Structure 1
Amino acid sequence: MARRSTARHRYSPYDGGPDPLAPPVDLAEALDAIGQDVMAGYSPERAMREFLRRGGQERTGLDEMARRVAEKRRELTARHHLDGTLQEIRELLDRAVLSERGQLARDVDMDDSERSFRQMRLDNLPSSTAAAVSELSSYDWQSSDARADYERIKDLLGREVLDQRFAGMKQALESATDEDREAVNQMLMDLNALLAKHARGEDTPEDFDSFMSKHGDYFTEADGGRPRNVEELIDALARRAAAAQRMLNSMSREQREELMALSQQAFGSPALMDQLSQLDANLQALRPGEDWSGSERFDGEEGLGLGDGTGVLQDLADLDDLAEQLGQTYDGARMDDLDLDKLARQLGNPAAVDARTLQRLEQALRDSGYLKRTSDGQLQLSPKAMRQLGRALLRDVATRLSGRQGQRDVRTSGAAGERSGATRAWEFGDTEPWDVTRTVTNAVLREASDRSPTTGSPGESSPWGAERRGVRLHIDDVEVTETEARTQAAVALLVDTSFSMAMDGRWVPMKRTALALHTLIRSRFRGDALQLITFGRHAQTMDIEQLTALDARWDKGTNLHHGLLLANRHFRKHPNAQPVLLVVTDGEPTSHLEPGGEVYFEYPPHPLTVAYAVRELDNAGRLGAQTTFFRLGEDPGLARFIDSMARRVGGRVVAPELDDLGAAVVGSYLGSRGPAGSTYGHYGDWFGGRGFWVGS
């Protein structure tokens, strides 16, 4: 019979880098939010920061964590006050005096003169608690209960002053013996010797190990765990000592004087206080950067002892650090700056988990290729991010278009043309449907040729054996069906970037529209030539990255004349393509180019400005451009002007709501891509009997 193994295994948290079992971070929501902010004028860096601050639908953001940090800080200062130790000592002293008076009254054998002397001494105790305790240090207590209470005062003071420097000492030294107190005194002496040696640069790792082997039990989880080297030891002690000093600074002058006087009687050992004073001096010299001079205001009713008060001051310091880290307002701020251990201590483990998720999200955004750094060190959206954002916008456009006409998402093959019956090898960027039969056959034949006929079991070298085991597809196996090419188009999208577009909230919808159309042409109609043209006081061509990052412009002027000049230049560069002119505007033309190239502006529009715009529109009509105007706003004068312009060239006018602008422009473009002679009415008439699908 086999003997059961008795080997035992111990497991510890994984510490080899990022958790390999952690779920992948979903960047879609973050990228969409960042893209919207970038189009609204934020830099990508600021947009990413804003998303991390807000959080997602199922993710707590930095602002919510900062709010909880501030709330806990207010709660701590509003709940407590700092004279808890003084109150406790006063109560013990009053109880000891009361017990002693009772004993004097009951002791019938005591000489009356002695009784009177003792009572007079008790009656004349100083009002100061510290002075009263000092006055009674030489008193011969007649009551055993009174003597016990008085000894508790010295014991309490000793434990409190130690608890200020070493968390948990108050409880650990309760009912301590003289040997325990001597052991503490010896630990302090050894600690001061180690710190002095470290300050001189003469200590070794063996010195630290020797100290911890003798006194390591004094450093508990309450101190942040057992330190691993002398630097961690100094850090932990200095943080708590600085908090103790801030607690004293937060007290009134009378409270400080009382406590300092009382502390001299801790454990009845002045040597203990000498060692603690030396410890504080060593720590201040080694860690001058800690806050040794700060103070807090406490207005609550719950008294704090010296040790507990020091712990609260440490908590407040942690909360202040977390507030700064969560604010991310300092130069070079990163999510990795968050102290997850502090966050878990102050707000609980769920908050630390949320923060860790945000850290992973920030790192994933930087590592995924969605954000890239320019030569001057600034972040910007990468082409990969632009494609992802454009696909999301295009899906929204497709949903709006299909919803308007009661249509559904028609995933019909041949969206870019009719099938010709031929196939070819897949190339990057192809969206034609796979020829499944040819693809699988290629994979089977490749695997059969890759295997040696002399190896493996019978049938493995045949295609049928491979089919039984399953076929592994390789990218080189894929073949797609050929489609007939459609007419190439030269598309000019003119978008108004005048003052009114930004003022009336049309800036971001304009950018979303341009990005959606750009994504559609680059993914589904790669043979078409798209030119993005902005026209404000003057016009210019832009690539999609420039337009997406374009800040709102506050210069007055709508130079449609210049925009049409650039559009016609684009059409002439593609003489064999069908010109498609799409104009998005919310105002009549108010500026034009003079023959010398200067910009002329006048409002209301000068007749010459209108004439120049009409002339260039006529030129576009003579080039055969299919023209659509997208009128934004309800201005009657603009409506009359746009209608007359469209009639001159047989164009159309669409007056969409802002949310439907993208669908309107994309729908019009798709209509212009239809068969020659087709009549397209409302922009939703975009299916053309074939349909259009945006892949994820």
Structure 2
Amino acid sequence: MARGSRYQRYGGGDPLAPPVDIAEALDAIGEDVMAGYSPERALQEFLRRGGREGDGLDDLARRVAERRRELLQRHNLDGTLDEVKELLDKAVLEERKQLARDAMMDDADRAFREMRMDNLPSSPAAAVTELADYDWQSAEARAAYEEIKDLLGRELLDQRFAGMKQAMENATDEDRAAIQEMLSDLNELLEKHARGADTQQDFDDFMAKHGDFFPENPQNVEELVDALAQRAAAAQRMLNSMTPEQRQELMELSAQAFGSPALMDQLGRLDASLQGLRPGEDWSGSERFDGEEGLGLGDGTGALQDLADLDELADQLSQSYGGARLDDVDLDKLARQLGDQAAVDARRLQELEQALRRSGTLEKGFDGELRLTPKAMRQLGKALLRDVAQRMSGRQGQRDLRQAGAAGDLSGATRAWEFGDTEPWDIPRTITNAVLRTAGEAPGVSRLGAGAPRTSATGGVRLSIEDVEVQETEARTQAAVALLVDTSFSMAMDGRWVPMKRTALALHTLIGTRFRGDRLELIGFGRHAETMDIEHLTALDARWAKGTNLHHALLLANRHFRKHPTAQPVLLIVTDGEPTSHLEPDGQVYFAYPPHPLTIALAVRELDNSYRLGAQTTFFRLGDDPGLARFVDSMARRVDGKVINPEADDLGAAVVGSYLGSRGPRGAGGPSSYGDWFGGRGFWVG
């Protein structure tokens, strides 16, 4: 049997758009993680903000709220009553005109009829009821009155079956009879379903007979009940939203629908069945409409359905419930309420969330919490290192070694140059790369003639950074690096927490990718000190306990140096405060502010031990506290170290630069190296 094809409107946005780019998301998530957010919360915050390509959840939620407010402020629920009153006024006016010009009418009969017109109740519902037995003399008046009954019937049907008002316009008696038959059969089916006595065949027979009334094309009774109950509940909420006077008018008018109470009887029976089958629907809610534009019963019910959809979307976009995922967002409803672009933006966020979870950048640990994977940490570190490289670009100074440009015996292999490389260039390979790269460009000035590679005005090959290859070496100078970062409460209070973490991650990435022979120890020191892996440090929340235990941090750094006796010790200390705590002999922490002389003495003693181990020491002083400046200057002078006073944003470049410049033998650096990069803010001591 040949299989048919189904077509529908494409709703996926631009089919030629590139796949989602997780790099921007990863950078933002990493920033938030380093600021103290959990990875799960950082992911949710990025999804709320959105990226460069489209709106985030907060923007979509704001538009949903604006759409809801617009519906309530634009509309009111008087539409049907206003239409009835307008038709009634037309009927009465046309009848008066006919009575005035009918010369053959008995005067007493005319007077009686005019009296009935004059004494109609002010209530439209009561007036329509009173005129139910009136013998209209005007054909136009009779038509207007009959239109009232037709309008009421169509509006009541439109409340339960969307689009029925238009479909039943100019309906014949046969059309009305078909409606009555459908309602009767529907009620029998639902009542049978409520008893559990129905079968799929009962449903199929019903749809074969009345399927044209149900464009939703339900496949079973449950789907049929769902569609009908949602609409009926919205109709009930509309009634609940009316004033008592409006409800009373409508109930009295409903008896005149199609000129018979039979329709209301069938609809009442239908509503009772649906409420029993779907008690979980909102049958008791209400809204307050304050606008000028009147809504009929069908349109008003549609507006209440729209409001329910908007409330559901607001809940989905808030992602505030347990186990929330972006897959929960109903894209069809979002497109219906806010337009196709909103659905495209939401789909992009869904794809981004899925890509982040699938790409190996986020994983759940043993505790069930989401965390950044080592792969994500490497990606984030590379991004931070690129930022550091940009800040360092154009500054003078190279990594200091005894033999410039060579870090060991050549292995014969070459590779592309990367930031931080100190190996000598492979000149033949570099020139060849440049020639091959420019071979396809338009001919330029060349001594080789037309069609030769583009050259400079002097005839040389034009090099680009991607052309450079360096010679691999078998051995490199090894360094034991201790990065001591202040984790006291003042670092967080003064906005230095995230720059400190960015610096540590950038240095960790540089050493882990380009200087694998070096050994890095990350040491955080607040009231006490501890060694940390990079994942621990980047996820570390701000600590508000007072204390700066440089003594303990130096003890851990010296232990690291002693573990690697053949490596060049490099000591990097990032702090914004003087030492205010130290370790007692029994391992307890002593704290005092202003700093106790013993605290200072113990820190100085351990710094001297670092110096005796051959450590190249650099202090990165954050802030402009004069007391800290005097202390750091004297400490650096004592061990022939140096002091750099960078801005928070330049901290990463300062630390990486100092590492590159200090890794050689003690005293190899100088003012021409990385210490003087920051325009007078960094200076040499000793």
Q: Give yes or no for TM over 0.5.
A: yes
Match of 1:648 in 2: 638
| 1:204-215 matches, cutoff 5 A | 204-215=199-210
Q: In structure 1, what residue type is equivalent to 2:175? A: D
Tell me how far 1:680 sits from its aligned partner.
Answer: 3.6
Q: Distance in 1 between matches of 2:17 and 2:86?
A: 55
Tell me how far 1:367 sits from its aligned partner.
Answer: 1.1
- Contact map agreement 2:397 2:674 (CA 8 A) in 1: no
Q: In structure 2, what residue type is equivalent to 1:621? A: Y
- Contact map agreement 1:498 1:553 (CA 8 A) in 2: yes
Q: Distance in 1 between matches of 2:536 and 2:249?
A: 69
| 1:165-176 matches, cutoff 5 A | 165-176=160-171
Deviations 1:535-581 (A, max 9, x none): 00000111000000000000000000000011111111111111111
Three-state SS of the structure 2 residue aligned to 1:603 is coil
Q: Which moved more, 1:248-257 or 1:673-682?
A: 673-682
Q: Distance in 2 between matches of 1:141 and 1:332?
A: 66
Q: In structure 2, what residue type is equivalent to 1:325? A: Q
Q: In structure 1, what residue type is equivalent to 2:542? A: A
How many aligned residue pairs are there?
627
- Contact map agreement 2:578 2:628 (CA 8 A) in 1: yes
Distance change (3 Å), C-alpha of 1:339 and 1:41: same
Tell me how far 1:239 sits from its aligned partner.
Answer: 1.2
- Contact map agreement 1:580 1:626 (CA 8 A) in 2: yes
- Contact map agreement 1:81 1:298 (CA 8 A) in 2: yes
Three-state SS of the structure 1 residue aligned to 2:640 is coil
Q: Distance in 2 between matches of 1:325 and 1:264?
A: 41
- Contact map agreement 1:319 1:346 (CA 8 A) in 2: yes
**Percent identity at matched positions?**
76
| 1:377-388 matches, cutoff 5 A | 377-388=368-379
Three-state SS of the structure 2 residue aligned to 1:56 is coil
Q: In structure 2, what residue type is equivalent to 1:360? A: E
Tell me how far 1:98 sits from its aligned partner.
Answer: 1.1
Q: In structure 2, what residue type is equivalent to 1:599? A: V
Q: In structure 2, what residue type is equivalent to 1:250? A: S
Check if 1:188 corresponds to 2:183. Answer: yes
Check if 1:664 corresponds to 2:659. Answer: no
Q: Distance in 1 between matches of 2:156 and 2:591?
A: 79
Q: Which runs of 5+ in 1 are unaligned?
A: 1-6, 408-413, 439-479, 688-696
Q: Distance in 2 between matches of 1:556 and 1:495?
A: 15
Distance change (3 Å), C-alpha of 1:598 and 1:654: same
Q: Which of the residues 75, 82, 85 maps onto 1:87?
A: 82
Distance change (3 Å), C-alpha of 1:20 and 1:376: farther
- Contact map agreement 1:263 1:273 (CA 8 A) in 2: yes
Q: Which of the residues 515, 525, 531 maps onto 1:525?
A: 515
Three-state SS of the structure 1 residue aligned to 2:594 is coil
Tell me how far 1:419 sits from its aligned partner.
Answer: 6.3
Three-state SS of the structure 1 residue aligned to 2:393 is helix
Tell me how far 1:207 sits from its aligned partner.
Answer: 2.5
Match of 1:157 in 2: 152
Distance change (3 Å), C-alpha of 1:566 and 1:416: farther
Check if 1:135 corresponds to 2:130. Answer: yes
Three-state SS of the structure 1 residue aligned to 2:609 is helix
Q: Which of the residues 327, 337, 340 maps onto 1:346?
A: 337
Match of 1:12 in 2: 7
- Contact map agreement 2:571 2:618 (CA 8 A) in 1: yes
Q: Distance in 2 between matches of 1:578 and 1:552?
A: 32
Match of 1:325 in 2: 316
Deviations 1:22-43 (A, max 9, x none): 7422000000000000100111
Q: Which moved more, 1:260-269 or 1:144-153?
A: 260-269
Q: Distance in 1 between matches of 2:33 and 2:9?
A: 38
Q: Distance in 2 between matches of 1:577 and 1:363?
A: 45
Q: Distance in 2 between matches of 1:424 and 1:354?
A: 45
- Contact map agreement 2:525 2:550 (CA 8 A) in 1: yes
Distance change (3 Å), C-alpha of 1:189 and 1:513: same
Match of 2:142 in 1: 147
| 1:422-437 matches, cutoff 5 A | 422-423=412-413
Distance change (3 Å), C-alpha of 1:18 and 1:544: farther
Q: Which of the residues 498, 501, 524 maps onto 2:491?
A: 501
- Contact map agreement 1:423 1:435 (CA 8 A) in 2: no
Distance change (3 Å), C-alpha of 1:686 and 1:363: farther
Q: Which runs of 5+ in 2 are unaligned?
A: 399-403, 430-469, 678-686
Distance change (3 Å), C-alpha of 1:70 and 1:511: same
Q: Distance in 1 between matches of 2:396 and 2:167?
A: 77
Q: Distance in 2 between matches of 1:340 and 1:99?
A: 51
Q: Distance in 2 between matches of 1:433 and 1:503?
A: 45
Q: Which of the residues 281, 285, 292 maps onto 1:290?
A: 281
Q: Which of the residues 213, 217, 222 maps onto 1:218?
A: 213
What RMSD in Å do the two structures reach over aligned CA positions? 2.9
Q: In structure 2, what residue type is equivalent to 1:132? A: A
Q: Distance in 2 between matches of 1:239 and 1:416?
A: 77
Tell me how far 1:106 sits from its aligned partner.
Answer: 1.2
- Contact map agreement 1:40 1:551 (CA 8 A) in 2: yes
Distance change (3 Å), C-alpha of 1:259 and 1:565: same
Structure 1 runs of 4+ aligned residues shifted over 6 Å read: 17-22, 431-438
Distance change (3 Å), C-alpha of 1:226 and 1:684: farther
Tell me how far 1:152 sits from its aligned partner.
Answer: 0.2
| 1:558-637 matches, cutoff 5 A | 558-637=548-627
Q: Distance in 1 between matches of 2:174 and 2:8?
A: 39
Match of 2:466 in 1: none
Deviations 1:222-257 (A, max 9, x none): xxx332332222222111111111111111000001
Check if 1:365 corresponds to 2:360. Answer: no
- Contact map agreement 1:664 1:683 (CA 8 A) in 2: no
Q: Distance in 1 between matches of 2:676 and 2:280?
A: 68
Match of 1:401 in 2: 392
Tell me how far 1:139 sits from its aligned partner.
Answer: 0.6
Q: Distance in 1 between matches of 2:88 and 2:67?
A: 35
Q: Which moved more, 1:666-675 or 1:530-539?
A: 666-675
- Contact map agreement 2:406 2:424 (CA 8 A) in 1: no
Q: In structure 2, what residue type is equivalent to 1:72? A: R
Tell me how far 1:512 sits from its aligned partner.
Answer: 0.3
Tell me how far 1:600 sits from its aligned partner.
Answer: 0.6
Deviations 1:413-437 (A, max 9, x none): x9884661435999xxxx9999999
Q: Distance in 2 between matches of 1:424 and 1:178?
A: 91
Tell me how far 1:624 sits from its aligned partner.
Answer: 0.6
Q: Distance in 2 between matches of 1:405 and 1:138?
A: 103
Q: In structure 1, what residue type is equivalent to 2:310? A: L
Check if 1:272 corresponds to 2:267. Answer: no
Three-state SS of the structure 2 residue aligned to 1:630 is strand
Tell me how far 1:8 sits from its aligned partner.
Answer: 13
Three-state SS of the structure 2 residue aligned to 1:583 is strand
Check if 1:534 corresponds to 2:524. Answer: yes
- Contact map agreement 2:411 2:474 (CA 8 A) in 1: no
Q: Which of the residues 287, 294, 299 maps onto 1:308?
A: 299
Q: TM-score, normalised by structure 2?
A: 0.87
Q: Distance in 2 between matches of 1:14 and 1:579?
A: 66
Q: Distance in 2 between matches of 1:245 and 1:666?
A: 68
Q: Which of the residues 41, 44, 49 maps onto 2:39?
A: 44
Q: Distance in 2 between matches of 1:211 and 1:434?
A: 83
Q: In structure 2, what residue type is equivalent to 1:101? A: R
Q: Distance in 2 between matches of 1:175 and 1:436?
A: 90
Q: In structure 2, what residue type is equivalent to 1:520? A: L
Tell me how far 1:68 sits from its aligned partner.
Answer: 0.9
